[in-house]
Amino acid sequence: MNKVIEVENLTRTFGHFKAVDNISFNVEKGEIFGFLGANGAGKTTAIKMLTGILEPTSGKGKVAGFDIITERNKLKYKIGYMSQKFSLYEDLTLKENIGFYGGIYGLRKREIAERTKKMIARLQLGDIENTLIAEIPLGWKQKIAFSVATLHHPDIVFLDEPTSGVDPITRRQFWDLIYQAADEGITVFVTTHYMDEAEYCDRISMMVRGKIAAMGTLDELLHKHAAKDMDEVFLKLARQ
């Protein structure tokens, strides 16, 4: 058992509002952990705490073996992050974007060049190294953004609603990339509000109003709540 994320009683309040209310869970190495919930359920706040950019009000957590409060600086080298926005610079070329992200993670020029080549081959993008991101189609950008987020070979990659606003085919292709990353031993922590995406995850946690209302594999959740799909599980939990 190799735990990559360990969270105990994590809470974050904004004024009187409990955005994240006493959550505890573990994620194992190489797992695809689905962090589901409606908009405003506290998913993004939880991710911010796990990536070390927001301090918890109480509770503790470890990510990639580092404490999320006291060892933020070391932690940051071990994680990758991709937000629902594209997080690539439109006015820079693909190569320049990769160069920049590689650079801020302290990669050497040679390493960056090597990984760029590999990445382009894997994504079958052809000759677009020197194309501005603005001129690259949306679906490709998404995949590129994911590859860039894992460029520095992190232990864990956090994906915050990576597939929102993307067509089903591209979504499917995107999940293929996630599987590939998981096969290489990268743990994937993904938030989504598409309940059907839950079936792609190894394990799911369902957040409702800042609390984890349910957690387990897809089958476990369906069985426990006597539901035929995740939508039903979600509705049942939300009505409680």
Partner 1 sequence: MRTFLAFIKKEFKHIFRDKRTLLILFGMPIIQVLLFGFAITTEIKDGKMAILDLAKNRMSQQYISKITSSGYFILKENLKNYSEIEKSFKRGSIKIALVIPEKFAENLGNTNSSVVQVIADASDPNMATMLTSYLSGITNSFAIEKRLVPEVPIKIESKMLYNPENKSVFMFVPGVMTIILMLVSAMMTSITVAREKEIGTMEILLVSPLKPAIIIIGKVLPYLVLSLINAFTILMLGFLVFGMPMEGSRILLFLEILLFIVTSLSLGILISTIAQSQQTAMMMSLMGLMLPTILLSGFIFPIESMPRILQILSNVIPAKWFIIIIKSIMLKGVGIRVVWKETLILAGTSLLFILMTIKKFKIRME
Residues in touch with partner 1 (CB under 8 A):
51-55, 73, 76-77, 79, 81-92, 96, 99-106, 108, 158
Beta carbon of residue 78, minimum distance to partner 1 (angstroms, whole number): 10
Distance CA 83, CA 214 (A): 24
Q: Based on CB atoms, which residue is closest to partner 1, 69 or 227?
A: 69
Q: Based on CB atoms, which residue is closest to partner 1, 113 or 227?
A: 113
Q: Based on CB atoms, which residue is closest to partner 1, 109 or 118?
A: 109
Collect all residues with Cβ–Cβ distance below 8 Å to 7 and sequence separation of at least 6.
Answer: 23, 24, 25, 26, 50, 59, 60, 61, 62
Q: Based on CB atoms, which residue is closest to partner 1, 105 or 194?
A: 105
* Angle at which helices 138-149 and 109-123 cross, to 10°: 140
Q: Based on CB atoms, which residue is closest to partner 1, 132 or 227?
A: 132
Q: Based on CB atoms, which residue is closest to partner 1, 13 or 199?
A: 13
Of the chain, the end-to-end C-alpha distance in Å amounts to 34
Beta carbon of residue 93, minimum distance to partner 1 (angstroms, whole number): 9
Distance CA 80, CA 87 (A): 12
Q: Which helix (H) or strand (E) holds 33?
A: strand 32-37
Collect all residues with Cβ–Cβ distance below 8 Å to 31 and sequence separation of at least 6.
Answer: 4, 182, 187, 188, 202, 203
Beta carbon of residue 47, minimum distance to partner 1 (angstroms, whole number): 9
Distance CA 127, CA 107 (A): 23
Beta carbon of residue 108, minimum distance to partner 1 (angstroms, whole number): 8
Beta carbon of residue 51, minimum distance to partner 1 (angstroms, whole number): 5
CB 217 within 8 A of CB 188: no
- Rounded to an integer, what is the distance from CA 218 to the centroid of its chain? 18
Beta carbon of residue 87, minimum distance to partner 1 (angstroms, whole number): 5
Distance CA 215, CA 126 (A): 41
